[in-house]
Amino acid sequence: MPLAALQVASAAARPSADSDTQTPALLHEVIVTAEKRAEPLQRVPAQVQVFTSREIELRGIRSTADYIAEIPNMTFDRADTYNNSWVVVRGIASVTNADPPIAVVVDGVPQVDQMQLNQQMFDIQSIQVLKGPQGTLYGRDALGGAIVIQTEPPTPKFTASGDLTYGNGGMADVRAEVSGPMGSRSVGYRLAGTYLTQKGLIPNTYPGAGGHSDFIHYDYDTRGSLLAHLPADWTLELTGDFGRHSGATNQYSWIQSDDPNQFLNPTYSFYPGDVGMNGGLSAKLEGPLSFAKLTWISGYNRMYEDDRASISYSNPVQDPLGLFNLGFQAGQGQNLSLTSYFQELRLTSPFHQRFRWVTGLSYQYLDKSLLTRVFIDQNGSPSQFWNPSQVIVNSDYGWVESSFGAYGQAEYDIRPDLTLTAGLRYDFDNRTQQDLVTGAFLNANFLAWQPKATLSWRPTDRQTYYLTASTGYRPGGFNPTGNPSHFTSEYLRNYEAGWKTLWLGGRVRVNGAVFYDTDHGYQYFNVYSSPGGGFTQVNQNINLVVIKGAELETQWYPTPRWELFANAGYTDSAIVKLNGVPSCSGLSSGQIAAVDYGCYGTYTPYLTPWTGQVGTQYRHPISANLSFFGRAALSLYGKKIWEVNNIAVQNPKHYLDLRAGIESVRWSVWLWGKNLTDTRAYSQFVRAVPFGIGTAGIGYLVPPASYGLELRMRY
């Protein structure tokens, strides 16, 4: 059996139609590679949520947002450009033009830019989400956790499938996969692709500006892979992918009331557009040595994104004075280009021995450039970006980053039921920034030691309890514009107690953890007024943040066919010290206005203190070859704090998703709905005063209610 096929064993094989209805899915063993070795999920001493290929299909997971919605203490929001997103995990948030707060690894290759997190999920074997610092094994940026995505490998027998989904707003999503042997069973191939288009669900009410603010002309991606079984149990897997997109961008609403709980449709006059490309190649060679398994991974990624949008976020009728009351509307544009290379060499000892270990070396290189312009908008055309006579802000920067890491982690069974794990990693990052307009050059080195220690106790095969002390690290960097010109590294120390348990014969799962973190140099994105007018966007550091929280994940099978689930998370991410900035709690409203809202509140920005999800799913055989499946999930979110001053707060929200269908071995038909409560909310909100656009704030709306039909065929 190919090694890739062993990485995740799913509980729920496709029914025929009653083959998996006599035993609760929890009793089936799920094998994960969260700690870079194959082991049962319930033995891993960390909070890990796994979505197998079967669960991805049953839950209708088609994007990053779909699976993150099911993870407590984690939020995912769209913002800014077509590819950009904003993720917060256990209080650690994304920052613009900087490293993400969570490591994202696809087929063993890290995705180095936060824009690579927002992906179409197609032909995926498993998604494993680890929470809490994972820096020892995954290196920089894993201070909030790690997302490990494994695509489907080639199969030894010929298989093919196709999927067509249609939804309101003119949404059409076509997916297909084909796999099988090439000549002999020693080499297999796999080809997969997806194509998405939609007219949009959020109207832009200004005439002639595109009709809808969330249109997608096209978004397609293709992937091909070869898996060769070599002599002496070695394997070589080669994977390549390529995709393009063209769609809407920066779909912000102009909110004169500056109220984050007033939800308005966009009204901008500029036609927004974003085109881009992504592609990559990877190779994985793996096989046994006399004392360990050797794994070599090599990866290459290339992407670009050209973005054009309004920066006034309004129109000449609604706002005749225009940007900063200068009498004109303005547009903005960015040309982003990124190339990265990755190498990792890893040795892993056999799992079934008292002393187990994994060690490795990694190297990563990144070359990135960003051209940003603000220009006078005379006719709403994106081509104005290239007219020198209309450009009023022009910045062009290049970054080169190289990173080296060395790590090791060992486990020792003190007793059959008691295991001590210890690990250590060293990361060294060199980063340079060059202003391609002025020639100014900045260079800095960032380094960190990331230790980890865990004591886990397994009194029975169905119970694991653990205590962990771990660390995470996010390197500093440079701001393209503004003051300060750079921000420092972020270091997180995490102390966690957790449990992973099965009860009532495996029909009930109760997993959870409580944690306490100290975060030194917490990185955050800030927008503030510049002296003399205008605004500046910079990444800055909070000296000290203390994070306390807990999470709970439960599943219960009252019958083998019926599942109930409830997940909840709470995070208290409190600012303790921010040098040079007064606390808002000690200032009157007049004093807050006098300092241009340049004070800090209690919580870190973009925090949602509590999240949760409750729901149920049910399977029932209709005949020997048919079965019914239905699922309902209600996602719950507490208030959302938008900025470091905590003044703008969005009220709690809830979203209802439903999915029901009939399936056989060869085909399935599904009806689905998302946000059926039609909840109105913003996924990003920026207040007016720090943004410097007079009396209006801006907000990025979440999609309204959507629903549709999905058809799938298999061979």
Query: What does the pLDDT read at residue 331?
Result: 92
Under 8 Å CB-to-CB from 639, ≥6 apart: which residues? 608, 609, 649, 650, 651, 652
pLDDT band of residue 10 (cuts 50, 70, 90) is very low
For the domain spanning 3-714, the CATH number is 2.40.170.20
In angstroms, the CA 693 to CA 57 distance is 45
Please check the confidence at residue 483 and state whether its pLDDT lies above 90: no
Label residue 586 by pLDDT band (50, 70, 90): confident
Q: What is the mean pLDDT of residues 23-43?
A: 75
Rounded alpha-carbon distances, angstroms, from residue 31 to 50, 68, 136, 156: 10, 21, 21, 21
Give the burial string for 620-636 (b: 16+ CB within 10 Å, else e). ebeeeebbebebbbbbe
- Long-range interactions of 558-561: CB distance < 8 A, separation 24+: 558/507, 560/21, 560/22, 560/23, 560/24, 561/21, 561/618, 561/619, 561/620
Q: Is 657 exposed, middle or buried (0-12, 13-18, 19+ CB in 10 A)?
A: buried
Sign, Cα dihedral of 691, 693, 697, 699: negative
At 537 the pLDDT is: 75
pLDDT score for 18? 45
Per-residue pLDDT at 613: 97
Dihedral sign for Cα 168, 169, 170, 171, please.
negative
Within a 10 A sphere around the Cβ of 320, how many other Cβ atoms? 12
Confidence grade of residue 19 (pLDDT, cut at 50, 70, 90): very low
Cβ atoms of 591 and 524 within 8 Å: the answer is no
Give the mean model confidence (pLDDT) for residues 267-289: 94
Q: How far apart are CA 118 and CA 124, in angstroms?
A: 15
Query: What pLDDT score was predicted for residue 318?
Result: 84
Query: Cβ distance 698 to 691 under 8 Å?
Result: yes
Residue 158 burial (CB < 10 Å; 0-12/13-18/19+)?
Answer: exposed
- Encoded amino acid at 133, one letter: P
Contact 142, 165 (CB under 8 A): no
On the question of pLDDT at 57 being above 80, the answer is yes
Secondary structure of residue 597 in the 3-state scheme: coil
203 class by beta-carbon count within 10 Å (0-12 exposed, 13-18 middle, 19+ buried): middle
Q: Which residues of 438-450 are buried (b: 16+ CB within 10 A; e: fewer)?
A: eeeebebebebeb
Residue 11: what pLDDT?
Answer: 38
Question: Do 499 and 465 touch, CB atoms closer than 8 A?
Answer: yes
Specify the DSSP element, H or E, that contains 231: none
Question: Domain extents for the chain?
Answer: 3-714
Specify the pLDDT at position 312: 86
In this structure, which amino acid lies at residue 608?
T
Host H or E run for residue 691: helix 688-691
Q: Is the preceding omega at residue 475 within 30 degrees of 0, hence cis?
A: no
Distance, in Å, from the CA atom of 265 to the CA atom of 247, rounded to the nearest integer, reads 18
663: pLDDT strictly greater than 90: yes
Tell me, what's the pLDDT at 532? Answer: 47
Question: In the chain, pLDDT over 70 holds for what percent of residues?
Answer: 92
In terms of pTM, does the model score above 0.85?
Answer: yes
Q: How do residues 357-401 score in pLDDT, each as one tens digit?
A: 999 999 999 999 999 999 999 888 889 999 999 999 899 999 999
Look at residue 501 in the predicted model and tell me its pLDDT. Answer: 95
Pairing mode, strands 145-151 and 103-106: parallel
Kindly report, residue by residue over 282-328, the tens digit of the pLDDT.
999 999 999 999 999 999 999 999 999 998 888 888 888 887 778 88
Cα-based distances in Å from 617 to 3, 17, 329, 343, 560: 32, 16, 51, 42, 11
Nearest Cα neighbor of 175 from 152, 197, 196, 194 is 194
Average model confidence (pLDDT) across the chain: 90
Express each pLDDT in 326-367 by its tens digit: 888 899 999 999 999 999 999 999 988 899 999 999 999 999
For 424-448, the pLDDT digits (tens) are: 999 999 999 999 999 999 999 999 9
pLDDT of residue 8: 40
Q: Between β-strands 682-686 and 697-701, what pairing exists: parallel, antiparallel or unpaired?
A: antiparallel
Report how far residue 670's alpha carbon sits from residue 644's, in angstroms, rounded to the nearest whole number.
43
Mean local confidence (pLDDT), 236-258: 94
- Tokens at 642, concatenated: 């938008």
Indicate the SS3 state at residue 67.
Answer: helix
| CA end-to-end distance (rounded Å), the chain | 21
Structure confidence at residue 159 (pLDDT) = 95
Q: For residue 482, name the pLDDT band (cuts at 50, 70, 90).
A: low
Q: How far apart are CA 70 and CA 47, in angstroms?
A: 14
State the pLDDT at residue 591.
79
Q: Where does the pLDDT of residue 563 fall: very low under 50, low under 70, confident under 90, or very high at 90 and above? A: very high
Q: Which helix (H) or strand (E) holds 47?
A: strand 47-52
Question: What percentage of the chain exceeds 90 in pLDDT?
Answer: 73
CB atoms within 10 A of CB 33: 17
User: CA-based angle 469:471:473, to the nearest 5?
Assistant: 175
Q: Is the pLDDT of residue 450 over 80?
A: yes
Q: Nearest CA to 524 among 603, 617, 452, 457?
A: 603
Higher per-residue confidence, 690 vs 110: 110
- The yes-or-no verdict on residue 669 having pLDDT over 80 is yes
At 27, the pLDDT band (50, 70, 90 cuts) reads: low
For residue range 81-127, what is the model confidence (pLDDT) as tens digits?
999 999 999 999 998 888 999 999 999 999 888 888 888 899 999 99
